[in-house]
Amino acid sequence: MSSSQRAGISENVRDETPAVSVDSPGEKYRRLLALIAGNGSAAVAFSGGVDSSFLCYAAVEALGGAAIAVTVVSPLLPRSELENAARTAAAIGIEHITIREDEIEDEVAQNGPRRCYFCKKKEFAAIQQAAGKRGVAVVLDGSNLDDAGDYRPGLKALEELGIASPLREAGLTKSEVRELSRRFALPNWDKPASACLASRIPYGETISREKLSRVEKAETVLRDFGFRQFRLRSHGDIARIEAAPEERKKLFNEAALDAISQNIKAAGFLYVAFELEGYRSGSLNRTIRKTLPETAESPAADNLPPVGTEHTKGT
């Protein structure tokens, strides 16, 4: 995306957005640019999702070549998401750096309710280190204002590391980020929310590279069949398909059912099941109270993540 295209798009957005309220999306965007520009340079923790892509775009507009995007490549990141991140970074025009983390930390593999905390702590520390080597002043993450109301232990890790969250600070909500991304013509403005592969495995069940690999292969099967918003939940030898309610009808076909079942079993599962109510973000959160004893690692009952909350990688 050229600088002239970027300037034109941004100006159009400002013209479209009423400036009558400090809470308007246009005003929030201008506030975001000021927040980012004040850093002098910045590294965006980049997953390729809508939020972090939008933040990359804003960082380039605010800082130009002093902004970089950094993606941590680990067994928890689907290959398709890495490929999407690379394409999106190229379209935005931001330098894209990858950091390889081949090991799954023990605290993450144990898969307790604070798994996301331990994962984020390690990933963002690695991003900080990479940024420091480049002389970059600050690391930015793409959490938005709506994330503050969810159960997200990863945000605690970011706070401890001193990671900046300018979308939240500017007051931008998820819907506003998507709408501005659409107006800026970002290539993934309507990309469904995604989450790391660990979110497919119930809390308390150990995470391994083998389990993550078969989930990734099975989800590739569903993607190849045209599904957009879905999850493949792993329950031992059982693969449980969650598809968006409006996409469930794609499975109401005998030939499709047979082909999907055969291909998912080829990925390593013995049985394939279909969740009748369809996809719900964070559906595995309902298992916490039933399967995990209350310990220092368990969140208080009032803080347990509700169904509908998933640690998405739309950052």
**In this predicted model, what pLDDT tens digit does every residue of 110-143 receive, in sequence order?**
999 999 999 999 999 999 999 999 999 899 999 9
Please give the tally of structural domains in the chain: 2
Task: Give residue 153's pLDDT.
Answer: 80
pLDDT, tens only, 262-307? 999 999 999 999 999 998 775 666 655 554 444 444 444 444 444 4
* Torsion angle of C-alpha atoms 86, 90, 95, 101, degrees rounded to 10: 0
Of the pLDDT bands very low, low, confident and very high (cuts 50, 70, 90), residue 13 is very low
Higher pLDDT, 313 or 38: 38
Residues 128 and 50 in one domain: yes
5: pLDDT strictly greater than 50? yes
Residue 285 lies in a domain: no
Full domain range(s) for residue 17: 3-183
Do 72 and 152 lie in a common domain?
Answer: yes
| pLDDT tens-digit map of 177-196 | 999 999 999 999 999 988 99
Average pLDDT for the chain: 87
Find the CATH number of the domain harbouring 223: 3.30.70
What is the distance between the terminal CA atoms of the chain, rounded to a whole angstrom? 21
172 and 37 in a common domain? yes
Q: pTM value?
A: 0.84
| pLDDT for position 282 | 59
209 in the same domain as 73? no
Residues 142-177: tens digit of each pLDDT: 999 988 765 678 889 999 999 999 999 999 999 999
Question: Same structural domain for residues 204 and 234?
Answer: yes
| Per-residue model confidence (pLDDT) at position 280 | 78
- pLDDT tens, residue by residue, 56-89: 999 999 999 999 999 999 999 999 999 999 999 9
Output the 3-class SS for the chain: CCHHHHHHHHHHHHHHCCCCCCCCHHHHHHHHHHHHHCCCCEEEECCCCHHHHHHHHHHHHHHHHHEEEEEEECCCCCHHHHHHHHHHHHHHCCEEEEEECCCCCHHHHCCCCCHHHHHHHHHHHHHHHHHHHCCCCCEECCCCHHHHHCCCHHHHHHHHHCCECHHHHHCCCHHHHHHHHHHCCCCCCCCCCCECHHHHCCCCCCCCHHHHHHHHHHHHHHHHCCCCCEEEEEECCEEEEEECHHHHHHHCCHHHHHHHHHHHHHCCCCEEEECCCCCCCCHHHHHHHHHCCCCCCCCCHHHCCCCCCCCECCC
Which CATH number is 163's domain given?
A: 3.40.50.620
Max distance between CA atoms of the chain, in angstroms, equals 59
Task: Give me the percent of the chain exceeding a pLDDT of 90.
Answer: 76
Query: How would residue 92 be classed by pLDDT, with cut points 50, 70 and 90?
Result: very high
Place of tokens 């909500």: 173
